[in-house]
Structure 1
Amino acid sequence: MNSSLLFNSLAHSPFHLNEARRQWVQATFAALSNDEKIGQTLLPLLPDLEQASLDAVLRVPVGGVFRMHQGPLAALQQSARYLQARSKLPLLMPGDLEYVENGAIGQGAMLSNQLALAATHNTRLLADAARIAALEGRNAGYNWSFSPIVDLSIHPRNPIVCTRSFGSDPEQVAELGARYIASMQQHGMAACAKHWPGDGMGDTDQHLLLSENPLSFERWQETYGAIYRRMIDGGVLSVMSAHISLPSVDASGAPASLSAKLNLDLLREQLGFAGVIVSDASTMAGMTSQAKRADLVAACIENDCDILLFPEDVEADFNHLKTALREGRLSQQRLDAAVLRILALKAALGLAETRVEAVPFDAAAHAETARDIAQGCLTLLRDDAQILPLSPQKYPRVLLIQPQRRDTILGAGATLQIASLLQAQGFAVTPFTTGMQISPALFDLVLVTTADEAALCKAYIGIDWQNLQPGLHHAMQRFWHDIPTVFISLGNPYQAQEVAQCPTVILGYCPSAPIQEALVQALMGNIPFLGKNPVRLEIKATVEF
């Protein structure tokens, strides 16, 4: 689409720009040099919020800056004001405003992940979660959330989708995704549907290698295609194009982030998406494994991604794009279209009028919503042995088996608080230690608790018995035939497939503090189990031979 046609379309979905905002886009675009246009397509990751890092990122006229959102609120607010004040054009300030165990924005409300939201089967709570992300995010200087995830949790061993999704059912994912986007964008935060063209079918992670969606085009249309049509019809402002191939559409096996057949022919022309396409992180192996850096960054923009996310080196990638434009590997028409959409997104968010502002919200009400989600998601999968409810009188001596280490690529996770919560209720809790004696004479109850949320660069998301019960002998022990045992997954619900013989299984989806607190109350019968598992546990990983 040429620039004049694209400009005329900005009054329509998803941008809906009024005359004043369209005139701002037109005037701003006309005043940009090609160097400034190229800068708009780059969106780097800040390693920290130190002033030296803030100054360094603006050496190139970038279109936006990504910051991690778990830091102190004051530091997030100050960094946003600093960056916006020193940029010629208003900046897109995105974040992965997904709620996971440590996903509170600026140490605000501690909500839970998407799968926990889906398990509540409560669309009011879902809309409230999106509203909270929007308000608390905007208050911290964000204007664009790389959420929701509209992938399907299909493969039981997929380490990156699972608890970040709304489940296995395409209709449910489409419904919840559309509601989440509507609420988030209604409250002033741009949403982003990801990961185009759809993740969750295999056991790979695009951070580590190119992923593939193996569906036939007909089946893709019925599932992921239907989901994206719903997001587009609902007015989602952006889509993240991932390092995932769809060979039924692009037989070359190229990832969507480098495929015009997927971004232009399918997403834009067939499905009608007119918003911003942002690549997934360009430092992921799913992209970097495909070609030399200089060729990748040009191919990403030329193949209809408007924004290159996380340049490996901002100045180097800026120069790669300048060279590609000069040599014809990046066309002027393609660059202009990308920049017009980027400016339209900024205008739609009101950034031409106000770049950053304090946003009032009711922190106590947000904390109450977090508790409601926690209490609403807990799922009693089965209690065949009728062990529940627990009480110190019935089961005074509890053996607690939980992760010995909670290491992730981003650092160590917090120790679970279940032991102290149970002790506060009068239980005598003994944590598992290697070499200990375990028998019905010593313990009245065994609680096995895992905490495996989906996460980047996580090679395995099944039950790690060696981390729960270290030692060759202990790792192979199972106690439920001798001692009443409750298995609790505060993460991957597919782990229930691995404990099919355990008579009592509970799903909590996320190890957030509110869920741990609600779990103990539910175990004791003080609150009911209200949740419904959003994934299909009958799905098995298959092997072709």
Structure 2
Amino acid sequence: MKTRLVIATVLVATLGATLTPLPVQATTAAPAALPPAAEHGWVTSTLRHMSLEQKVGQLFATYVYGGDATAPTAADRAANRAAFGVETPAEVIEEFHLGAICYFSWSHNLDSPRQIATLSNGLQRAALSAGGKDRVPLLISTDQEQGVVLRMPAPAAQFPGAMALGAGRSPGDARTAAEITGRELRAVGIHQPYAPIADVNVDPANPVIGVRSFGADPTLVAELTAAQVTGFQRDAGATAVAKHFPGHGDTDNDSHTDLPVINHTREEWDRIDAPPFRRAIAAGVESVMTAHIVVPALDPSGDPATLSPTILSGVLRGELGFRGVIVTDALNMAGVRQKYGDERVPVLALKAGADQLLMPPDLRLARDAVLRAVATGELTERRIDESVRRILALKYRQGLAASPLVDVEAAVRTVGAAEHLAAVARVTDPTLTAVRNDAGLLPLASTDRSVLVTGWNSAAFAPVATVADGFAARGARATARPATLPSDQAIATTAAEAARHDLTVVLVNKAWDVEVTDPRASQRRLVAALLATGRPVIVVAVRDPYDVAYLPGVSTYLATYSYTRAAMDALVRALHGELSPRGRLPVTIPTADGGLLYPYDHGLTW
């Protein structure tokens, strides 16, 4: 598969090289080296009174189980006990003097605005109590990239993700999405959205980035990355986190399960991967997340970037001038654990220049390893102080020294506010991309028809039902038949049903990725069976736009880049001619054998 991807990569790299270069001053701009006097005073005073154990605790960010700080469910108590040796989220913070917490749905932290805000306040009280007279508030984070990676459930505003915004081409819309996302997060006590993605996705077979990237052109990605940094930080007061340095866009391996190698030359890295991070730094980004990838052109040692002094201290801090907080990607990922043991990884990350150590697989082992490294002299307390000072300064700039708690009732009013949801629709509409309309089927001429909506579905978002409901609201006789990974019998049954309808709309999700999405390639076989009925078929990629290359015979194809309700609403309106598609491909789509199927910037309208 990699051979065909090189062609697509070269095409995009060549295209990117023809666009307006970034300003030279963006390579050196950075936040001021010396903090304001009040910040400096609080940071210095707090640091001076902290024990070594408290300082080391500030370096760690991890999950905790439970939706309440002191009264989690019995199952969450058991999970905390197994992971941390104590039962409640508050006790985890107190035991390890934690500096940060990361929320997830699977750890039962995210239910409703009221619950999340209450949890945040409970965790902050635990952190302040644990510090004694030296009250050190928490940083709280979550992966709220939007699109296919979002943690805050409805009623939170669910904006299109990065590649959709790339298709829309609007820095203003990207900034709006970040601002409203940041405001809603801050309302419930979350400070770091772990966004935006600054990776340039030049490999269509990238299994982990894909639509999480703004696209394949470095200039576009840089512009939208900077816009979101501004939206998060200047407009919403949240901490933007540009990730994944030095660039995770050109690999067909997933660092969650492997250690990818990026074989860009130094010139290619400067031209393709570096521009978004340069622009993020120029925009004042306060945090950068590392990638568990090997980049021989930057560091020939074979160490992942997360553990590389050459990349973190040399390139990111030295060459690019970044002075903010460097946070590692999760340390429980395979990419950072393959070469060294879990006891060595946190020590090596700190020696490389990282400040925040995210989700080590064994928090106690990691904490004790850092303490032992200080005791033996491998790490100095001065080195620990450097990172703690950056973390405390970030907390001060977040306003946490003065006001660590949130207003729960204000959070309920803010999250999912009517004006936020209206902005979601406004931002989503221009992102829909019509890729193929060879038969001239669209826009649909009549609503008086029977329609089958089938294909990939999500229990959380129910895109199949949303599309079917949209047809029904316009007078069609619509049937929803989810078929996410259908068996051969289910494919035959669905095709037989399609033959009895006037039109079929089928949703696909990463149909190109046989190994990850469906070992039996059932999505492809479903589409082929639907086409074989001879009835009109509309294929919609609700994630990667690359699927069309693996679906021969498709004559009508659109890309939404995500499956949120707003994306599906825009799709239905476009199919009926109520919305003119305006999105343009932010990536090239190669053929299955490495040729060019659709170029960057392609997009139809009506």
TM-score by length of 2: 0.80
Letter in 2 for 1:79: L
1:445 aligns with 2:481: no
1:30 aligns with 2:24: no
Q: Name the CA distance, whole Å, in 2 between partners of 1:178 and 1:453.
A: 32
Measured against aligned partners, the alpha-carbon deviations of 1:251-298 in whole angstroms (never above 9, x if no partner) come to 111111111011001111111111110100000011122221111121
* Equivalent residue for 1:95, pick from 142, 147, 161: 142
Report the alpha carbon displacement of residue 42 of structure 1 after superposing the two structures with TM: 0.8
Measured against aligned partners, the alpha-carbon deviations of 1:368-408 in whole angstroms (never above 9, x if no partner) come to 011112222111112121001225557x23343312x659x
Correspondence 1:409-428 to 2 at 5 A: 414=462, 416-417=464-465, 418-428=467-477
1:174 aligns with 2:244: no
* Equivalent residue for 1:129, pick from 162, 165, 177: 177
Gaps of 5+ in 1: 1-11
* Contact persistence 1:41–1:306 (CA under 8 A): yes
Q: Name the CA distance, whole Å, in 2 between partners of 1:209 and 1:67.
A: 24
Q: How many residues align?
A: 520
* Equivalent residue for 2:430, pick from 360, 365, 376: 376
User: Tell me, what secondary structure is at the counterpart of 2:434?
Assistant: strand
* Equivalent residue for 2:451, pick from 392, 398, 404: 398
Partner residue in 2 for 1:83:
123
Report the alpha carbon displacement of residue 542 of structure 1 after superposing the two structures with TM: 6.4
* Contact persistence 2:171–2:223 (CA under 8 A): no
Report the alpha carbon displacement of residue 310 of structure 1 after superposing the two structures with TM: 0.7
Segment of structure 1 superposing worse, 510-519 or 474-483: 474-483
Segment of structure 1 superposing worse, 361-370 or 458-467: 458-467
Q: Name the CA distance, whole Å, in 2 between partners of 1:216 and 1:462.
A: 34
Partner residue in 2 for 1:288:
337
Segment of structure 1 superposing worse, 276-285 or 444-453: 444-453
Report the alpha carbon displacement of residue 315 of structure 1 after superposing the two structures with TM: 2.4
1:357 aligns with 2:415: no
Partner residue in 2 for 1:55:
90
Q: Name the CA distance, whole Å, in 2 between partners of 1:443 and 1:29.
A: 69
Measured against aligned partners, the alpha-carbon deviations of 1:294-325 in whole angstroms (never above 9, x if no partner) come to 11121111111111101223222211111111
Letter in 1 for 2:193: S
- 1:440–1:298: structure 2 CA closer, same or farther, 3 Å change rule? closer
1:150 aligns with 2:198: yes
Letter in 1 for 2:537: T
Partner residue in 2 for 1:466:
522
* Contact persistence 2:193–2:240 (CA under 8 A): yes
1:229 aligns with 2:278: yes
- 1:218–1:435: structure 2 CA closer, same or farther, 3 Å change rule? closer
* Equivalent residue for 2:164, pick from 93, 116, 128: 116
Q: Name the CA distance, whole Å, in 1 between partners of 2:292 and 2:371.
A: 24
* Contact persistence 1:144–1:189 (CA under 8 A): yes
Report the alpha carbon displacement of residue 420 of structure 1 after superposing the two structures with TM: 2.8
1:521 aligns with 2:567: no
User: Tell me, what secondary structure is at the counterpart of 1:180?
Assistant: helix
Report the alpha carbon displacement of residue 14 of structure 1 after superposing the two structures with TM: 5.5
- 1:66–1:367: structure 2 CA closer, same or farther, 3 Å change rule? same
Report the alpha carbon displacement of residue 434 of structure 1 after superposing the two structures with TM: 3.6
User: Tell me, what secondary structure is at the counterpart of 1:240?
Assistant: strand
* Contact persistence 2:178–2:228 (CA under 8 A): yes
- 1:351–1:235: structure 2 CA closer, same or farther, 3 Å change rule? same
Q: Percent identity?
A: 29
1:267 aligns with 2:285: no
* Contact persistence 1:120–1:530 (CA under 8 A): yes
Report the alpha carbon displacement of residue 131 of structure 1 after superposing the two structures with TM: 0.7
Q: Name the CA distance, whole Å, in 1 between partners of 2:259 and 2:151.
A: 30
Gaps of 5+ in 2: 1-29, 71-86, 484-489, 596-606
- 1:104–1:527: structure 2 CA closer, same or farther, 3 Å change rule? farther
* Equivalent residue for 1:508, pick from 545, 560, 576: 560
* Contact persistence 1:42–1:307 (CA under 8 A): yes
Partner residue in 2 for 1:44:
62
Report the alpha carbon displacement of residue 343 of structure 1 after superposing the two structures with TM: 1.1
Partner residue in 1 for 2:291:
242
Q: Name the CA distance, whole Å, in 2 between partners of 1:101 and 1:454.
A: 17
Q: Name the CA distance, whole Å, in 1 between partners of 2:263 and 2:232.
A: 31
Report the alpha carbon displacement of residue 230 of structure 1 after superposing the two structures with TM: 1.2
User: Tell me, what secondary structure is at the counterpart of 1:460?
Assistant: helix
* Contact persistence 1:302–1:331 (CA under 8 A): no
* Equivalent residue for 2:544, pick from 492, 508, 513: 492
Partner residue in 2 for 1:4:
none
Q: Name the CA distance, whole Å, in 1 between partners of 2:498 and 2:192.
A: 54
Q: Name the CA distance, whole Å, in 2 between partners of 1:232 and 1:62.
A: 27
Q: Name the CA distance, whole Å, in 2 between partners of 1:366 and 1:393.
A: 31
Partner residue in 1 for 2:112:
72
User: Tell me, what secondary structure is at the counterpart of 2:464?
Assistant: coil
Q: Name the CA distance, whole Å, in 2 between partners of 1:15 and 1:476.
A: 60
- 1:318–1:96: structure 2 CA closer, same or farther, 3 Å change rule? same
Partner residue in 2 for 1:477:
529
Segment of structure 1 superposing worse, 519-528 or 332-341: 332-341
Letter in 2 for 1:224: D
Q: Name the CA distance, whole Å, in 2 between partners of 1:463 and 1:520.
A: 30
- 1:542–1:216: structure 2 CA closer, same or farther, 3 Å change rule? farther
Report the alpha carbon displacement of residue 48 of structure 1 after superposing the two structures with TM: 2.8
User: Tell me, what secondary structure is at the counterpart of 1:283?
Assistant: coil
Q: Name the CA distance, whole Å, in 2 between partners of 1:380 and 1:531.
A: 7
* Contact persistence 1:379–1:530 (CA under 8 A): yes
Segment of structure 1 superposing worse, 60-69 or 37-46: 60-69
Q: Name the CA distance, whole Å, in 2 between partners of 1:55 and 1:49.
A: 11
1:367 aligns with 2:440: no
- 1:454–1:197: structure 2 CA closer, same or farther, 3 Å change rule? farther
Q: Name the CA distance, whole Å, in 1 between partners of 2:285 and 2:499.
A: 59
Q: Name the CA distance, whole Å, in 2 between partners of 1:90 and 1:191.
A: 19
Letter in 1 for 2:503: L
Q: Name the CA distance, whole Å, in 2 between partners of 1:459 and 1:377.
A: 28
User: Tell me, what secondary structure is at the counterpart of 2:582?
Assistant: coil
Measured against aligned partners, the alpha-carbon deviations of 1:15-57 in whole angstroms (never above 9, x if no partner) come to 7732111111111111122111111111111233243431232
- 1:401–1:56: structure 2 CA closer, same or farther, 3 Å change rule? same
Partner residue in 2 for 1:139:
187
TM-score by length of 1: 0.89
Q: Name the CA distance, whole Å, in 2 between partners of 1:462 and 1:241.
A: 30
Q: Name the CA distance, whole Å, in 1 between partners of 2:369 and 2:498.
A: 67
User: Tell me, what secondary structure is at the counterpart of 1:488?
Assistant: strand
Report the alpha carbon displacement of residue 346 of structure 1 after superposing the two structures with TM: 1.1
Partner residue in 2 for 1:6:
none
Correspondence 1:248-263 to 2 at 5 A: 248-263=297-312
* Contact persistence 1:106–1:140 (CA under 8 A): no
